[in-house]
A and B are shown apart, each in its own frame.
Chain A
């Protein structure tokens, strides 16, 4: 639920990184935080378990400058990927304006990606939102693992598994190395802003 403040000329937008556990959602945000730390004035907020897994969410506010005279503040969130944290995952989705689905490219995680995407669709339903109508970008993460000869799901199979109906923009990426992390973020910001503009007309 984006908020337009006509007094301060500011728009606040919520973008959520979703996906299966250990897929690289937090790593995406960490990369963005380190890459743009001269533009991000605050600390990244993380609520983790002792085992360093996301417990509630990560939060990173990010100023992208002015669009049509409005200062746009993007609020990036991640959800906890582990299946057992569905209640908290649903809470973080409240008021979402755009989503990045971070899929794990490792062959052994194929089923987990499909289940997590289905879970996203179900959780959006609880807020009367459709996955087909909310801006979404898919990111196939961990492509760099091919160099270490770890079996990966081919791009075409990921597209067929996850994107055959959605037909959302998708990127092959490596959050650890930063490959396509910024491109993914730029794409979702672009889609989300276009969708807001349409809504505000």
Chain B
């Protein structure tokens, strides 16, 4: 199955990522699908990550964690977060097929980010369904 997103939808997604996520001081926000394709990618201009590899690994990682959850009788783990010394990563599922990954430093509160991500997820869902 192939799917297409138009200029207007992609502009809308970028705008909400910029306004609601990047404004918190997040270093990089990545919207991808569960096949590992990148839909939208925004960073603060300082990041030089290989985002295609990152997306493939994030999709695989999320799939693996979901499969583990099912094995132990959990529908899904609600918090998916990797903590590093300088950088952290947070993952949030949007509908069944999409994943929002954010990379952020120590100065961003995880709790606040999660609240914002929940907001943004709803907005993106509306855009994707439009």
Contact = CB atoms under 8 A, between A and B. Distances in A.
B53 A43 contact: yes
Contacts, number: 91
Interface stretch (B21-29, B56-64, B109-117): B56-64
Interface of B: 1-7, 10-11, 33-39, 50, 52-53, 56-57, 59-60, 63-64, 67, 97
A146 interface: no
Contacts of A200: 2, 4
Q: What is the predominant secondary structure among interface residues of chain A facing chain B? A: mixed
A45 B53 contact: yes
Contacts of A57: 56, 60
Q: What is the predominant secondary structure among interface residues of chain B facing chain A? A: mixed
Nearest to B41: A8
A2 B37 CA distance: 8
A77 B37 contact: no
A42 B36 contact: no
Given A1-B1, A200-B4, 17 more contacts: A1-B2, A3-B3, A3-B38, A4-B3, A4-B5, A5-B10, A7-B7, A7-B10, A8-B10, A42-B50, A56-B60, A57-B56, A73-B52, A91-B60, A91-B67, A92-B60, A95-B37
A87 B67 contact: yes
Contacts of A119: none
Contacts of B53: 42-43, 45, 59, 61
